[in-house]
A = this chain, B = another copy of it.
Amino acid sequence: MFRLELTLKAMQLIDLRRITVVGLGLLGGSVALAAAKALPGTEVVGFAHRPQTRRRARQLGIAGKVSGDLAGVVRGSQLVILATPVCTFEGILRDMADALPDGCVVTDVGSTKAQVHRWANRYLPGRVQFVGSHPMAGSEQRGVGSARADLFDGAVCLVTTAGVADPRAVHLVSDFWTHLGCRVRRMTARQHDRVAASISHVPQAVAVALVNATAAGDLPLAGRGFRDTTRIASSPADIWTDIFLTNSPHVTRGIDRVISHLGRIRRSIDLQDRRRIERLLIGARDKRGRMMEAWKQRKGRLT
């Protein structure tokens, strides 16, 4: 059984003669670089809307071929990976649908999933499979100039489905990310959006609110604590606007939870309740300590 699965997986990845990355920013560029390294027998082609990005991608050798013709670039691809801001997916899926070859698998690197699956369901023909991906890698930087072949080394990649999914397509996509260095976790798009809000989208809103709430005149005195706590607030605004818009119920509920917990700390400070403050601080410290322990163990196993 195990052997059979391995063979099947290997066959599928070997079958990839060409993959197309749509969008060559930090993530798309890194996917192209990492795929070329992990799958030397596969042609990697890239699409970028802006001529400037195409020029830069060619200079950096991001992909074997870089084009501004979406339909042309997905033709003949067995795997297409969308790596533009989430809200652009709707138009891209619609525009490339007819050009996708039979049996093609489409995936993405977007940070929200339920809405993306709905668009894929609406615009892609039945002869094409969509499986969602969310590699939990990246940084507050952007642009093809920040792309790195090792961006996905050791990262978690959430692979998502909604409704009935072709297991071979799910295998192919999972296997692709595993070869790029990811630990794959499969879940439904709905589960994904809840957990992604919790560990990524809500922290983003919190970092932004913290920066916005701090007087500009105080910032020259800020130290490493403030810099680290707010690092992600330097992330691209357009990408995050799309994420908030396409995951609004989970994000707003998560923000409400943080507001409620800030209220608890606030009240215990206001009441000068030493025991209660200490309990809240110890709770957070221990919870984060367990997270860091688990993370270090995983990292240790990988290196």
Inside 8 A of A155's CB, which chain B residues have their CB? 223
Q: How many copies does the complex hold?
A: 2
- Distance to closest chain B CB from A182 (angstroms): 12
8 A Cβ contacts from A248-274 to B = 248, 251-252, 254-266, 269-270, 272, 274
Cβ of A212 under 8 Å from chain B:
yes
Chain B residues whose CB sits within 8 angstroms of the CB of A274 once the complex forms? 241, 245
Within 8 A of B (CB), among A197-249: 198-200, 202-216, 218-238, 240-241, 244-245, 248
- CB contacts (< 8 Å) of A200 on chain B: these are 222-223, 225-226
Residues of B within 8 A of A240 (CB): 277, 281
* Residue among A209, A230, A233 with max Cβ neighbours from chain B (10 Å): A209
**A278 lies within 8 A of chain B by Cβ:** yes
Q: Which residues of B contact A198 (CB under 8 A)?
A: 214-215, 218
CB within 8 Å for A228 and B225 given contacts A245-B272, A262-B209, A278-B241 = no
Q: Which partner residue on chain B sits nearest A223 by CB separation?
A: B136
Known: A284-B233, A287-B216. A277 touches B241 (CB 8 A): yes
CA distance A203 to B212 in the complex (A): 12
CA distance A202 to B121 in the complex (A): 45
| 4 extra interface residue pairs, beta carbon distance < 8 Å, beyond A219-B294, A258-B262 | A198-B215, A208-B284, A213-B260, A236-B285
> Chain A residues in contact with chain B, CB under 8 A?
136-137, 139, 155-156, 158, 185, 195, 198-200, 202-216, 218-238, 240-241, 244-245, 248, 251-252, 254-266, 269-270, 272, 274, 277-278, 280-285, 287-292, 294-295
